[in-house]
Structure 1
Amino acid sequence: MDTATAPQCLSPSSLRRCAGALLAAWLSAAGVQAARAGNTSPYLFGDWHGARSRLADRGVDFSFKYTSEVAHNDAGGTRPLTRYADQWELGAAFDLDKLWGWRGARFEVTMNDRNGRDLDADAQLGTYQQVQEVYGRGQTWHLALFALTWRSAGGRFTWRVGRLPADADFDVFPCDFQNLSFCDSPPGRIVGDYWMDSPVSTWAAVLDWRSGAHSHLKLGAYQVNPHYTDDHWARANGWKPAFPGGTTGALVPLEYDWSPRLRGLPGSYRIGAWYNTAGGADLYYDADREPIALTGGPALRRSARSGGYLTIQQQVSGEPGERGTTLFLNLTLADADTSATDGQYALGVEYKGAFGRPRDAIGAAIGATHGSHRLAARQRLYDRLHPAAAMPVQDGSEYVAELFYGWSPLAALTLRPNLQYVLHPGGTARHGHALVLGLKTLIAF
């Protein structure tokens, strides 16, 4: 057996990972007994003998969450492995109106700590989208949110400024699945080198205009800086509200959000576009507009990068916001000149209230991530010029399907065993397929 397959607890660097694994295993067993006792609190540790409610009445709310994801490749990759990754989230929100009389003001701070190993890398699955979405952005502490929010007296305008992840305000999407194809804000899945989602945040400002009873128009500006995607920088500075030098431009997203009720059931319809003033390296041409595969020269610098998205979520049966079926559709496109993956779609369904259990849910989704035709053209030319060192040509799409069952024995604990199938990982037929067995655990303390 590969010694890296199971967590080793003999070194300080792996102590947190082992603690998380042991905690998840203990709570999986303890959850049954807690459920029998009728525990319906949204927090595992309850209301702290009323202290939590008293603090909330005064304007202080705390959030302590834990997420773990286990993944095992039954097929695909270089060898069968099991990997474990987790995230601790510590947050607090302060209602400044209640605390200091600052009407409409709120301050929030959230810290995330990520640990573990990545099955995609260790088993060399070759995927575009991770089979453990909780892994990545540097296995260390991150300042995920450090923001002041102010809402106008009439509630028509809302300002947010500070350190913000883009998925907190734009193309907001839940993370119920374990495969990254179906989790969180879609643009971050295909242009994650500059669209920074949690746990990473950048200095930003967002204006939200409530244009109607069920509609919002949002405009944002986010700092683009390569330091935020540098793991070495993150380990030393990721937890600080620092302002790193080296800013190259701004990410400017614009979104229209419509939240109607169809036959009394809630829906969310978002359409948006973005423009990145920092630009990026061309995938095919060098600075002299000759093929990079031919010259090996530095890439041509494009002055801007852009893209757009459409996200739909609509409950179609059951009780509003409670038991019932919800459908979703995500479509995302990015410029093919500079983006290694230039498009993605995802289609899925979730049913809440499975088998008469109000908190249990079943989810199923299919999707595809498409590789840039410009990158494929470069790879194809390189293979013709260097047949002895030929590389896989990523001239297609990576297709993903996931099925999960979410068992929630108590309100504060959810266990989601899942099955993932990946066809043509990395958009090339040379990688065949991968079959992954997973378990996602979520705990709110």
Structure 2
Amino acid sequence: MTVTTMGGRRLALLGLAFGAALLSQPAFAQDSAWALAATYTADVAGPVSGGASQAGRFLDNLMIEGDLDLDKAIGWAGATAHLSLLNNSGGAPNDLAGTLQGINNIEVTRPRGKVYEAWLQQDFGRASVRAGLYDLNSEFYTTDASGLLIAPPFGIGSELAATGPNGPSIFPSTALGLRVRIAPSDATYIQAAAINAKAGALGDPGGVNTDFDDGVLLAAEAGWTRRGKVAVGLWRYSRDQNDIVDLDAAGLPVQRTAAGAYLLVDHPLRGAQGDIRAVAGFLRVGVSDGDTTPFKGGGQAGLLMTQVFGGRPDSALSLGVAYGGLSDKFQQTLAGGGLSAASSESTLELTYADKVAPRLSLQPSLQYVVHPGGDRDAEAAVVLALRVSIDL
């Protein structure tokens, strides 16, 4: 099996060289203008019950990120530059599990190396502007308490993740965009973004899309962050998308407005960060038009316990459930293919992570997927995974 392209190898080597060169500089003192982080993640995942077959697949993810304080570097007050390089290789465990929402958040359809994000941010007191290759999910539709879970819908709601010509500007491919954020007070914020509807970064086929022929994805979110976070968001594509079922008189897909909204709560429930067995919870609900995506909406909820054991400050335990509501039109498509269409696909995940060495963490995960693939008659899939993370 080919695990990466030649371009991916070159970008991976470039990233490693970039990181090594920066780390070798004596300027990496506490007051350095540079900040660099690199993480290698390797998973073995696959169904042990249900799915197309019971087997495991290896897959991995290398992320190298660098931030440059332009004020310290060249005297540009309030400006920051960010660059991240990403390389993914390995197999596709969801091909075995056959789910719609996925089972692993580092799985990709095309293993390769690429520039993941490259943006410039300018701060203006309580406001900031960010422009460049930008991951929407880095600041929108995100909850800290869901961050340990491995199943993809805990990262961003499936009703948004399944939109756009080739997916919105989220992992694994970003797009050119502009984000504006205003914080009227220490506990409130408003942010909006306009991002190329066609994702594509350096390393993807065709590279960065600059023609904007497919329009832009518009997103806005307002939140309160006094204790945890409560936020509401809206998103809409500027150009209509293909209806997944309806055709016009010429036999072409009817054009529909792709839009949606979400509400999220991320809140501490017991103790504070750093306390033994502190617990935080999250709840997210999203809806979409249901004409241009398989999902009419969905929701995720769960708990995160940190420092589970007093003597192990990096131990963490998380339980989450993700519900993906299938649109009537997608159910019609499934039925047309001879399946007994279910109204939803749902995932329950339990995972535990701990640092077993100064730079090494292990994380086993168990998932139980009901109606995988939206097939009412399909056996529930039981998925096991082991994640190994190394801070480089």
Q: TM-score range by the shorter chain?
A: 0.7 to 0.9
- Deviation sequence 1:202-260 (CA, Å, 0-9, x none): 110011010222010001100112x639xxx954455xxx3444621111101002111
Q: In the alignment, what sits opposite 1:218?
A: 191
Contact 2:115 2:203 in 1 (8 A): no
Counterparts of 1:166-181 in structure 2 under 5 Å?
A: 166-174=136-144, 175-181=147-153
Contact 1:371 1:394 in 2 (8 A): no
- Deviation sequence 1:134-164 (CA, Å, 0-9, x none): 0115211222111000001xx2110001111
Larger-Rg structure: 1
Q: In the alignment, what sits opposite 1:133?
A: 105
Q: In the alignment, what sits opposite 1:424?
A: 371
- Measure, in 1, the Cα distance between the counterparts of 2:180 and 2:388: 34
1:396 aligned partner, one-letter code: S
Deviation of residue 355 (structure 1)? 2.1
1:325–1:112 Cα change, 3 Å: same
Where is the helix percentage greater, Structure 1 or Structure 2?
Answer: 1
- Deviation sequence 1:100-136 (CA, Å, 0-9, x none): 1111000001010111111111x2x320121121011
Deviation of residue 330 (structure 1)? 1.4
Deviation of residue 298 (structure 1)? 2.3
1:402 aligned partner, one-letter code: E
- Measure, in 1, the Cα distance between the counterparts of 2:27 and 2:320: 37
The correspondence for 1:161, drawn from 106, 119, 131, is: 131
Q: In the alignment, what sits opposite 1:367?
A: 322
Q: In the alignment, what sits opposite 2:15?
A: none
| SS of alignment partner, residue 430 of structure 1 | coil
2:99 aligned partner, one-letter code: T
Shift >6 Å, 4+ stretches: 47-50
Counterparts of 1:45-444 in structure 2 under 5 Å?
A: 51=26, 53-54=28-29, 56-121=30-95, 123=96, 125-136=97-108, 138-152=110-124, 155-174=125-144, 175-184=147-156, 188-191=160-163, 193-225=166-198, 228=200, 235-238=204-207, 242-245=208-211, 247-261=213-227, 267-288=228-249, 297-302=251-256, 304-320=257-273, 322-323=275-276, 324-356=278-310, 357-380=312-335, 382=336, 390-444=337-391
| SS of alignment partner, residue 332 of structure 2 | helix
- Measure, in 1, the Cα distance between the counterparts of 2:24 and 2:169: 38
Contact 1:406 1:417 in 2 (8 A): yes
Deviation of residue 169 (structure 1)? 2.3
Q: TM-score, normalised by structure 2?
A: 0.88
- Deviates most, 179-188 or 417-426: 179-188
| SS of alignment partner, residue 59 of structure 2 | strand
| SS of alignment partner, residue 176 of structure 1 | coil
1:186–1:431 Cα change, 3 Å: closer
| SS of alignment partner, residue 337 of structure 1 | coil
Deviation of residue 412 (structure 1)? 2.9
1:352 aligned partner, one-letter code: T
For structure 1, which runs of at least 5 residues remain unmatched after alignment? 20-44, 262-266, 290-296, 383-389
- Measure, in 2, the Cα distance between the counterparts of 1:413 and 1:188: 33
1:337–1:162 Cα change, 3 Å: same
Where is the strand percentage greater, Structure 1 or Structure 2?
Answer: 2
- Measure, in 1, the Cα distance between the counterparts of 2:212 and 2:77: 36
Deviation of residue 12 (structure 1)? 9.2
Q: For the aligned residues, what is the CA RMSD?
A: 2.8
For structure 2, which runs of at least 5 residues remain unmatched after alignment? 13-19
| Count of residue correspondences | 376
- Measure, in 2, the Cα distance between the counterparts of 1:353 and 1:411: 16
- Measure, in 2, the Cα distance between the counterparts of 1:341 and 1:275: 15
